[in-house]
Amino acid sequence: MKKIILASNNKNKVIEVKDILKDYEIVSLKEAGIDVDVEENGTTFEENALIKARAIAKLTGEITMADDSGLEIDYLNKAPGVYSARFMGHDTSYDIKNRALIEKLEGVEGQDRSCRFVCAIAVVFPDGREVVKRATMEGLLAKEISGENGFGYDPIVYLPEYKMTSASLSPEEKNKISHRGKALRLIKGELEKNA
């Protein structure tokens, strides 16, 4: 079974990647005994995913996968974007962040509330080949917080097709349509081509 180092220690991400890439041995940073903090100083999701994957591939010499994701709100010129985790400070609760974003869009109606979750996943191979894929989950910024599942900005991304926020979807439903699930399936195709 081919090994892939996943440049993440986020439990949910590790589970999701293991579930979609069943034919590979997915090894998290912790499992690989790596404890480094790579600075994500890129200006796009793709750049940040590549920065992480390159840094860890250099350390391990193995096929390495990394992702970067976030929320883009069109009315706010795509903020918080690559700063999604850092928006208003790492330690600020998502309840506060989510309320602040709803407030910023006060008086904004209909399609002008368009937003999306974005995920870029990069894979770097030991011979230097690089693949990066991006996928999105499109929605509208909700006017109020709702839903108990998910994490982060899920309670404020309303999915018109499902008439609920992304935090109201079950984890299985979300994986089927999420930015991360879609990007992972695109990467799976690339891994098969590059095998």
Q: Is 46 in the site for ligand IMP (CB under 6 A)?
A: no
Q: How far apart are CA 135 and CA 123, in angstroms?
A: 15
Q: Is 155 in the site for ligand IMP (CB under 6 A)?
A: no
Q: Candidates 25-33, 58-66, 69-77, 124-132 — which segment interacts with ligand IMP by CB under 6 A?
A: 69-77
- Residue 68 pairs with which residues in a beta bridge? 120
Nearer to ligand IMP among residue 92 and residue 194 (C-beta): 92
Q: How far apart are CA 121 and CA 105, in angstroms?
A: 30
Compute, in degrees rounded to 10, the torsion defined by CA atoms 67, 68, 72, 77.
-130
Nearer to ligand IMP among residue 70 and residue 159 (C-beta): 70
Compute, in degrees rounded to 10, the torsion defined by CA atoms 164, 12, 14, 32.
160
The answer to whether residue 91 is catalytic is no
Examine residue 160 and say whether the peptide bond preceding it is cis (omega within 30 degrees of 0): no
Cβ-proximal residue to ligand IMP, closest one:
152
Interface pattern 100-119 for ligand IMP (x via CB under 6 A): -----------------x--
Q: Candidates 18-26, 64-72, 139-147, 182-190 — which segment interacts with ligand IMP by CB under 6 A?
A: 64-72
CB of 27 to ligand IMP, least distance (A): 18
Size of residue set near ligand IMP by CB under 6 A: 14
Set 19, 68, 112, 154: catalytic member: 68
Contacts of 13 by beta carbon, 8 Å cutoff, 6+ apart: 6, 67, 180
Q: Is 36 in the site for ligand IMP (CB under 6 A)?
A: no
Nearer to ligand IMP among residue 3 and residue 86 (C-beta): 86
Q: Is 72 in the site for ligand IMP (CB under 6 A)?
A: no
Q: Is 152 in the site for ligand IMP (CB under 6 A)?
A: yes
Q: How far apart are CA 160 and CA 157, in angstroms?
A: 10
Which residues are tagged catalytic?
68
Binding interface with ligand IMP (CB under 6 A): 67-71, 84-85, 117, 150-154, 178
